[in-house]
Amino acid sequence: MKRVPVILYGAGGVGSALLRQIVYGRDWMASRNNCHFVVISVTDSKTWQWAVGGLSDEQLLDIVAAKGQGLPVDPQWRGQAVAEMQRPSDHGVLDAASEAELENVMIIDVTAADGMESVLKRSINLGYSVVLANKKPLAAPWARAMGFFNHARVRHESTVGGGQPIIATLRYLLDTNDPIYQIEGQMSGTMGYICQRMEAGVAFSTAVQEAKNSGYTEPDPRDDLGGMDAMRKLLILGRMAGWPLEESAIAVESLYTPEMAMLGVPEFMSAITQLDERMQARVAAARANGEALRYVAEVNEQGGAVGLKAVPAGSALANLKYISFRTDRYHDEPLLIGGKGAGVEMTAAGVMGDMLALVREVY
Ligand SMILES: NC(=O)c1ccc[n+]([C@@H]2O[C@H](COP(=O)([O-])OP(=O)(O)OC[C@H]3O[C@@H](n4cnc5c(N)ncnc54)[C@H](OP(=O)(O)O)[C@@H]3O)[C@@H](O)[C@H]2O)c1
């Protein structure tokens, strides 16, 4: 049985789902994959737990329960003021692993943190493998991000499309020497929902409020409406396709005005009613041409764009589920990948799939 040491950065929705899948999937992992994940460390933004022999399943499930109640990973800080909480730095966690002379560690980044690149790069240099659901290191300036692409010990299926095999498909196309010409799709479930509701006659501001109430948006909906998350996914796909694009090569249409960036969330939610009429006119203009308004992401070797676009009604792009690859082989009819959008369980399953692929190929 392969015993694989794991260090988990991030214990939010995806991190907790992954811990549940590790604990409850032990028998399956053993019989099907001949492996046992030994979780050495779990880290949230303020605290950590560490055990060189591995945290017990009871400890891991306790972490899941605590995070579900908004409590820190480390029991000793529960009930204490946030300002008092402490843990080693993100690099300090790696120091602990290398001082313990751990080998072949699997580093999992399921944070949404900026600046993880140096931690991940050092992990690779230590001979560890890396799995990310965090898009930011892969969408960082190319000079910082390039080492993570096409590296045998780095996987990141869940950065685009949750657990859907988008990255795996791209990898297969590249491996079999099928050059990629164009990638298109709806890269944001939240934007897809808002477009669909507007098409059903709901005002833009109401659609945003509905999405917020249903938990489809980040707590501040501007994090979705600004288009940066969709831009990062597009940049990751473009870079994988072999185009070393920078963020500046992707035009991003934000669905709110620059003045609205300065408002508090409640004021913002009121202010967006000013945009209802303009949005309604765009939906109506598309419909009059037999088209549907969608928040589309498209990229090719020259660059790309994310923003609202009228696309033929009934086309793959108008169907909210698909990402399409136009390649040398799939030229006249692009290859479509689609399915249910991301959620924490599917995203965590994508991370788990990457972990198992690394176990098979590297361990
Ligand atoms: N949710 C989805 O469906 C989905 C789909 C695809 C990709 N993703 C990506 O997956 C990642 C995680 O998503 P999520 O929904 O689980 O987010 P989340 O609930 O906000 O969880 C993020 C976790 O990271 C922790 N964290 C922040 N900075 C950290 C640091 N420097 N070191 C260690 N931990 C740190 C946070 O700590 P605290 O708990 O202390 O705040 C929290 O536990 C994000 O990058 C997201 O874009 C998510």
Model pLDDT for residues 194-235, shown as the tens digit of each residue:
999 999 999 999 999 999 998 888 888 998 999 999 999 999
What is the distance between the alpha carbons of residues 337 and 333, in angstroms, rounded to a whole number? 13
Architecture of domain 2-163+344-362: 3-Layer(aba) Sandwich (3.40)
Position in ligand 1 atom list of the atom nearest CA 135: 45
CA 207 to chain centre: 23
The crossing angle, in degrees rounded to 10, of helices 276-288 and 204-213 is 100
Encode pLDDT of 81-111 as tens digits.
999 999 999 999 999 999 999 999 999 999 9
Q: What is the mean pLDDT of the chain?
A: 95
CA 96 to chain centre: 27
pLDDT score recorded for residue 317:
85
What letter represents residue 146's amino acid? M
Q: Give the full edge-to-edge strand order of the sheet including 48-50.
A: 48-50, 35-43, 2-9, 106-109, 129-132, 154-155
What letter represents residue 98's amino acid? S
Q: Is 188 in the pocket of ligand 1 (CB under 6 A)?
A: no
Q: Is 341 in the pocket of ligand 1 (CB under 6 A)?
A: no
Position in ligand 1 atom list of the atom nearest CA 229: 47
Question: Where in the chain do CATH 3.40.50.720 domains reside?
Answer: 2-163+344-362
Q: What is the DSSP string of 96-146?
A: HHHHTT--SPEEEE----S--HHHHHHHHHTT-EEEE---HHHHS-HHHHG
Q: Tell whether the model's pLDDT for residue 320 goes beyond 80.
A: no
Beta strands in the chain (DSSP E): 2-9, 35-43, 48-50, 106-109, 129-132, 154-155, 180-185, 250-252, 291-300, 303-312, 323-327, 335-337
Catalytic residue among 2, 233, 309, 340: 233
Q: Tell whether the model's pLDDT for residue 341 goes beyond 80.
A: no
The crossing angle, in degrees rounded to 10, of helices 90-99 and 117-125 is 10
Which protein residue's CA is at the shortest distance from atom 17 of ligand 1?
A: 12
pLDDT score recorded for residue 185:
94
pLDDT score recorded for residue 314:
87
What is the distance between the alpha carbons of residues 5 and 200, in angstroms, rounded to a whole number? 50
Q: For the CA atoms of 109, 110, 115, 119, what is the dihedral angle to 10 degrees?
A: -20
| C-alpha 343 to ligand 1 mean position (Å) | 13
| C-alpha 133 to ligand 1 mean position (Å) | 8
User: What are the angstrom distances between the C-alpha of 107 and each of 22, 38, 102?
Assistant: 15, 12, 12
Q: Which SS3 state, helix, strand or coil, does residue 227 take? A: coil
Encode pLDDT of 118-149 as tens digits.
999 999 999 999 999 999 999 999 999 999 99
pLDDT band at 321 (very low <50, low <70, confident <90, very high): confident
Q: Which DSSP category does 319 fall into?
A: S
Encode pLDDT of 265-281 as tens digits.
999 999 999 999 999 99
Q: Which SS3 state, helix, strand or coil, does residue 310 take? A: strand
Predicted structure pTM score: 0.95
pLDDT band at 316 (very low <50, low <70, confident <90, very high): confident
Question: Where in the chain do CATH 3.30.360.10 domains reside?
Answer: 180-337
Give the whole-number percent of the chain exceeding pLDDT 90.
Answer: 90
Beta strands 48-50 and 323-327 are: unpaired
Span 52-62, mean pLDDT?
Answer: 98
pLDDT score recorded for residue 343:
84
Which protein residue's CA is at the shortest distance from atom 44 of ligand 1?
A: 112
Which protein residue's CA is at the shortest distance from atom 35 of ligand 1?
A: 45
Encode pLDDT of 177-198 as tens digits.
999 999 999 998 889 999 999 9
Which residues neighbour 219 within 8 Å (Cβ) at sequence distance 6 or greater? 265
Active site residue 233: yes
What is the distance between the alpha carbons of residues 326 and 315, in angstroms, rounded to a whole number? 15
Which protein residue's CA is at the shortest distance from atom 25 of ligand 1?
A: 10
Here the tokens at position 354 are 């990457």
Asked: is 180-337 a CATH 3.90.1640.30 domain? The reply is: no
pLDDT score recorded for residue 279:
97
Here the tokens at position 341 are 């959008």
- Polymer length in residues for the chain: 363
Enumerate the β-bridge partners of residue 292: 311
